[in-house]
A and B are shown apart, each in its own frame.
Chain A
């Protein structure tokens, strides 16, 4: 029976074809046609995903796990890896927002990348990224997922250092790459261990094996921990989070697509995909995931309070929100994690694109202290940004409230301390986002020449970041962006406002997402163990927390009730000094160890290699003397060879 689900192969093929066509024709297509082609590929992919989604709805809930194998890819001994797609609610949910948000961000990039020399190169990377990400979520085995995992990593590297002529961008790319390698190591070893244990890398077969024969808790714990290392690298969790803030060196649409909405959620996706392993592991493994998430969320939120680069604030906010998702995964609330992943994709993409629009209007300036009062100049951007702000701050009825509230509810069910700390993080989130919005769009402008004197006094701060003298600010004319840029903003704002309706908590009838995802979770998803009353109270407290955060932000940055220096501590601005700690370690004892290793490599390893090479050369030269060009010598070789063969065969004949 053929159904719409059979079209799944089209989903990754569209962006792949886009990337390949652009690779060949990109330059001759030029701007803006290269961008339109890439966007069309993404729209095609999105339409294909919607069709597959409709097709999947046609199945009974219990059968919504379809595996479509294109071909056998690596048949090696008893390892058989297929190029196959797993179409289930989880993968299609991911694919829907990857292609949907991706298409919007492609469209946005046409405006944003206007006039860049690398215009078509940018879209090649972007399309190839989309292809890799879709392989990651749609692959029906760990190896295919890993292939996509590495693909998105490579694209992330290429896009972070897109403007590679600047040293800082190039080294930010390297940092992301190296940090991710640590995580990839975890993924790889987890994969080996999984193959050793289950004899297969296919999700269905692995989970069937667990269900029918069970798996030792210690083995499952090992695999889960290694997967956590991988997930922490990709999803920027402590202590592997250091690359994400630097990754903001890339063009802003990249930050929105890769470093906020899609790629960084891959770690969360992987953990949820492998949920039977997490369930089979020792109890402390999910707890560890939970606490890693909490620690990251809280730490990143405090850092975000003290950042002055608009994109850095959003980057730390992303790390913090990913921490929320890890808390949800650790407490078994897989649906809540996915729910938050989807709403976060909408509002964080919106916020990043809005920030991009501001940066675009401000001729590339990213410093919050040079903004202020931009709401008038950028009406659409500011309006949509406010929607994103309310969503992430957790103000009902915007989407962020619903998904965050659900995670908080599960956290409460798990542990009161956890809940309290997470609530504090939510308050902080509301606070730093309010700060961002007020400093950018409201208050007096700090970018006009007549604002110089007032700005100068404001800028005498204790910040460690050296601030250029305000007088040096060039004359600016902030302007609204072209329609290709604001249309995605409006659409995303709409989604960020209403996406909460995906999974409303009121009655089990409106748990749409939970019911939809059920087949992919094998009934492993946790359920809130308390009734409606407690839920209402928790929800109310969350609302109060959000409002308190917003009010606090307003008190500091609108009414100036409290000196902001008391909040924006240098320690926080330096991101808890983790980067310095790392570079001090690497520069000191780390460097000494590397030097030792390098010496060993040069003397022992290279020595052995060079000696082999020398021996090979000697033997080659020796043999060469037999190759003297004379027919008689060659005939002699033949005769001697023939003689040897005859002697051999005669001995075999027993003569």
Chain B
């Protein structure tokens, strides 16, 4: 029998590279097992602490992975037969690009747990299920960021999404939560169908699912060395863009966002806004830069259209909303527009600006929705903008932190949001896309109104007489403090984060070679 095993060609596995995904997913499964065995004997904080510990372990692994590129130590890859960065028969490639996203997602999970733990107890929804789903979803996102094969990419996408559908519908006593879950699920399935069909068409057009191979085939086809069915391939590309556009909430695939954000439990929105969007953009840039970069000129105008539509709809619609979660949902749509502006200039320094923006936006979104979680109160119902009245008097620190995060979202200097917008807009300007630059600037101005409106309500409107005292517990307070520090520190001195984004970007370049 041993001889038979010897004959089966097992692909080279870079176990360290795969470790983050495995630890995250394994952590989820283990947690489920432990809880079902030990049951009630475990303390209430166990599941949350487990999740945080797992995520911190993943962050640690991320650092180890990042560092091994420092010394030119490409050993695990050089030893493989696939050449370059790839492992698992070319299906996975954990370069610095993926590591950046992996660490970001793990950090998002940690902060989400800090916000969620208290919320779950407040709403009497505690139990390990939420944490298990959170970790599984993050593992899916990590797979998306590292996938070098369209089927693996699709698997990651579905692992990510299915867990989130359940999380959205998690609040058992709120029908709006369940309505949001169903809405998200139906529309998500619709978009996934496009995505899967797109994969099939790409395979039909090129004969490969491997991103590196597709890139190679496309290059060869321009010299006539390989044949690519252009029609199938182009329609496939359009459909992949639909699938990704849905995940990142780009217009016109955005319509679910305000409804789902409003209905979903607030801590879940923390994760969706920061984590799902980051994973979606990571996968989008990876596929379009690693595989389709040959057709940059073809997809760039489509990205332009999505960016402009997202900027316009996000900023304009945000102004006429009366619910904080809906306002922030439209703001997240307009942020998607900004990230697409960076993606549009991806051949220049746009990709680095996308990475920077993702990290910056994750911080701002986590903080903002954490504030909403605190303010929404028992039942998660107080999300009308009027519930913020006089917050500056009732909770000056909370109002101050929220103000800073909103100013950061508006792109005011000395916050990380300023540099994020600055980077994507200058990426567009570098490529001489001045019309896009002007549109992005205008959208910034319009969106500023949206954020300042919230600030005005907090500071200038007196509190309602019968407002109960707000409880701010340690978890959300810690999470908010961390992101506020992040926002300020990298707002004043953005260079370390810019360098990290640059490194992630150059590692991405290596994959395409």
Give me the interface of A with B, judged by CB distance under 8 Å.
Answer: 71-73, 613, 616-617, 619-621, 623-624, 626-627, 629, 631, 633-635, 637-638, 640-642, 644-646, 648-650, 652-655
Give the contacting residue for B230; candidates A619, A621, A631, A653; CB below 8 A: A653
| B302 / chain A contacts, CB cutoff of 8 Å | 645, 648-649
Q: How many whole Å from A504's CB to the nearest CB in chain B?
A: 47
A620-B316, A645-B241 given; name 18 further pairs at CB < 8 Å. Answer: A71-B495, A619-B316, A624-B320, A627-B258, A627-B317, A631-B186, A635-B190, A638-B190, A638-B255, A645-B242, A646-B235, A646-B239, A649-B238, A649-B299, A650-B231, A650-B235, A653-B233, A654-B230
CB within 8 Å for A648 and B238 given contacts A616-B319, A631-B187:
yes
CB within 8 Å for A620 and B317 given contacts A627-B258, A641-B253:
yes
Q: Is the CB of A616 within 8 A of B446?
A: yes
CB within 8 Å for A631 and B183 given contacts A637-B253, A640-B252:
yes
| A617 / chain B contacts, CB cutoff of 8 Å | 319-320
Report the separation of the CA atoms of residues A649 and B295 in the bound assembly, to the nearest whole angstrom: 10
| B316 / chain A contacts, CB cutoff of 8 Å | 616, 619-620, 623
Report the separation of the CA atoms of residues A115 and B241 in the bound assembly, to the nearest whole angstrom: 69
Report the separation of the CA atoms of residues A492 and B316 in the bound assembly, to the nearest whole angstrom: 64
| A621 / chain B contacts, CB cutoff of 8 Å | 320
Q: Is the CB of B319 within 8 A of A641?
A: no
Q: Is the CB of A649 within 8 A of B237?
A: yes
Give the contacting residue for B255; candidates A620, A637, A644, A655; CB below 8 A: A637
Report the separation of the CA atoms of residues A640 and B237 in the bound assembly, to the nearest whole angstrom: 16
| B434 / chain A contacts, CB cutoff of 8 Å | none
Residue of A nearest to B430 (CB): A77
CB within 8 Å for A634 and B298 given contacts A645-B242, A650-B231:
no
Q: Is the CB of B234 within 8 A of A652?
A: yes
Considering residues B230, B238, B495, which has the most beta carbons from chain A within 10 angstroms of its beta carbon? B238
| A623 / chain B contacts, CB cutoff of 8 Å | 313, 316-317
Residue of B nearest to A632 (CB): B186
Interface size on B, residues (CB 8 A): 39
CB within 8 Å for A648 and B301 given contacts A72-B495, A627-B317, A637-B253:
yes
Report the separation of the CA atoms of residues A624 and B235 in the bound assembly, to the nearest whole angstrom: 31
Q: How many whole Å from B287's CB to the nearest CB in chain A?
A: 15
| B231 / chain A contacts, CB cutoff of 8 Å | 650, 653, 655
Interface 0/1 of B251-269, CB less than 8 Å to A: 1110110110000000000
Q: Tell me if A's interface is mostly helix, strand, loop or mixed.
A: helix
B48: Cβ under 8 A from any A Cβ:
no
Report the separation of the CA atoms of residues A654 and B233 in the bound assembly, to the nearest whole angstrom: 13
Residue of B nearest to A642 (CB): B242
B66: Cβ under 8 A from any A Cβ:
no
Q: How many whole Å from A509's CB to the nearest CB in chain B?
A: 48
Residue of B nearest to A643 (CB): B238
Report the separation of the CA atoms of residues A617 and B319 in the bound assembly, to the nearest whole angstrom: 7
Q: Is the CB of A650 within 8 A of B234?
A: yes
Q: How many whole Å from B29's CB to the nearest CB in chain A?
A: 33
Report the separation of the CA atoms of residues A474 and B13 in the bound assembly, to the nearest whole angstrom: 93
| A73 / chain B contacts, CB cutoff of 8 Å | 493
Q: Tell me if B's interface is mostly helix, strand, loop or mixed.
A: helix
Sorted nearest first, the 8 A-B pairs with minimum C-beta distance are A634-B255, A620-B320, A641-B252, A649-B234, A645-B238, A653-B234, A649-B238, A646-B238
B246: Cβ under 8 A from any A Cβ:
yes
CB within 8 Å for A620 and B319 given contacts A629-B259, A653-B234:
yes
B290: Cβ under 8 A from any A Cβ:
no
Q: How many whole Å from A83's CB to the nearest CB in chain B?
A: 9
Residue of A nearest to B318 (CB): A620
Q: How many residue pairs between the two chains, A and B, have CB atoms under 8 Å in the bound complex?
A: 94
Q: How many whole Å from A378's CB to the nearest CB in chain B?
A: 46
Report the separation of the CA atoms of residues A631 and B186 in the bound assembly, to the nearest whole angstrom: 8
Report the separation of the CA atoms of residues A72 and B241 in the bound assembly, to the nearest whole angstrom: 38
Q: How many whole Å from B241's CB to the nearest CB in chain A?
A: 6
Q: Is the CB of B255 within 8 A of A633?
A: yes
B484: Cβ under 8 A from any A Cβ:
no
Report the separation of the CA atoms of residues A652 and B99 in the bound assembly, to the nearest whole angstrom: 35
B194: Cβ under 8 A from any A Cβ:
yes
Report 6 cross-chain contacts, Cβ distance below 8 Å, ordered by A residue. Answer: A620-B316, A629-B259, A637-B253, A641-B251, A641-B253, A642-B242
Report the separation of the CA atoms of residues A405 and B301 in the bound assembly, to the nearest whole angstrom: 74
CB contacts under 8 Å to A, within B289-308, are 298-299, 301-302, 305
Residue of A nearest to B191 (CB): A638
Q: How many whole Å from B63's CB to the nearest CB in chain A?
A: 22
Q: Is the CB of B298 within 8 A of A638?
A: no
Report the separation of the CA atoms of residues A642 and B298 in the bound assembly, to the nearest whole angstrom: 16
Q: Is the CB of B320 within 8 A of A641?
A: no
| A650 / chain B contacts, CB cutoff of 8 Å | 231, 234-235
Interface 0/1 of B443-478, CB less than 8 Å to A: 000100100000000000000000000000000000
CB contacts under 8 Å to A, within B245-286, are 245-246, 251-253, 255-256, 258-259
| B446 / chain A contacts, CB cutoff of 8 Å | 616
Q: Is the CB of B187 within 8 A of A635?
A: yes
Report the separation of the CA atoms of residues A623 and B319 in the bound assembly, to the nearest whole angstrom: 11
Report the separation of the CA atoms of residues A644 and B242 in the bound assembly, to the nearest whole angstrom: 10
Report the separation of the CA atoms of residues A171 and B85 in the bound assembly, to the nearest whole angstrom: 67
CB within 8 Å for A638 and B246 given contacts A627-B255, A631-B187:
yes
Report the separation of the CA atoms of residues A73 and B414 in the bound assembly, to the nearest whole angstrom: 12
Report the separation of the CA atoms of residues A71 and B496 in the bound assembly, to the nearest whole angstrom: 10
Interface 0/1 of B169-190, CB less than 8 Å to A: 0000000000000010011001
Q: Is the CB of A624 within 8 A of B238?
A: no
Residue of B nearest to A72 (CB): B495
Report the separation of the CA atoms of residues A653 and B239 in the bound assembly, to the nearest whole angstrom: 15
Report the separation of the CA atoms of residues A126 and B16 in the bound assembly, to the nearest whole angstrom: 54
Report the separation of the CA atoms of residues A629 and B257 in the bound assembly, to the nearest whole angstrom: 11
Report the separation of the CA atoms of residues A641 and B313 in the bound assembly, to the nearest whole angstrom: 14
Report the separation of the CA atoms of residues A635 and B66 in the bound assembly, to the nearest whole angstrom: 41
Q: How many whole Å from A307's CB to the nearest CB in chain B?
A: 43
CB within 8 Å for A634 and B187 given contacts A620-B319, A623-B313:
yes
Report the separation of the CA atoms of residues A646 and B245 in the bound assembly, to the nearest whole angstrom: 14
| A633 / chain B contacts, CB cutoff of 8 Å | 255
Report the separation of the CA atoms of residues A649 and B231 in the bound assembly, to the nearest whole angstrom: 9
Q: Is the CB of B194 within 8 A of A642?
A: yes
Report the separation of the CA atoms of residues A655 and B317 in the bound assembly, to the nearest whole angstrom: 36
Q: Is the CB of A649 within 8 A of B298?
A: yes
| B305 / chain A contacts, CB cutoff of 8 Å | 644, 648
Residue of A nearest to B183 (CB): A631
Residue of A nearest to B229 (CB): A653
Report the separation of the CA atoms of residues A108 and B316 in the bound assembly, to the nearest whole angstrom: 58
Report the separation of the CA atoms of residues A613 and B315 in the bound assembly, to the nearest whole angstrom: 12
Q: Is the CB of A642 within 8 A of B495?
A: no
Q: Is the CB of A638 within 8 A of B237?
A: no
| B493 / chain A contacts, CB cutoff of 8 Å | 71, 73
Residue of A nearest to B182 (CB): A631
| B241 / chain A contacts, CB cutoff of 8 Å | 645
Report the separation of the CA atoms of residues A623 and B238 in the bound assembly, to the nearest whole angstrom: 25
Report the separation of the CA atoms of residues A631 and B179 in the bound assembly, to the nearest whole angstrom: 10
| B242 / chain A contacts, CB cutoff of 8 Å | 638, 641-642, 645
Q: How many whole Å from A27's CB to the nearest CB in chain B?
A: 15
Q: Is the CB of B238 within 8 A of A642?
A: yes
CB within 8 Å for A641 and B245 given contacts A623-B313, A623-B317, A648-B238:
yes
| B259 / chain A contacts, CB cutoff of 8 Å | 627, 629
Interface 0/1 of B108-144, CB less than 8 Å to A: 0000000000000000000000000000000000000
| A642 / chain B contacts, CB cutoff of 8 Å | 194, 238-239, 242
Q: Is the CB of A624 within 8 A of B317?
A: yes
| A637 / chain B contacts, CB cutoff of 8 Å | 252-253, 255
Report the separation of the CA atoms of residues A619 and B235 in the bound assembly, to the nearest whole angstrom: 33
Q: How many whole Å from A612's CB to the nearest CB in chain B?
A: 9
| A644 / chain B contacts, CB cutoff of 8 Å | 305
Report the separation of the CA atoms of residues A654 and B235 in the bound assembly, to the nearest whole angstrom: 12
Q: How many whole Å from B421's CB to the nearest CB in chain A?
A: 14
Report the separation of the CA atoms of residues A637 and B259 in the bound assembly, to the nearest whole angstrom: 15
Report the separation of the CA atoms of residues A616 and B314 in the bound assembly, to the nearest whole angstrom: 12
Report the separation of the CA atoms of residues A654 and B316 in the bound assembly, to the nearest whole angstrom: 35
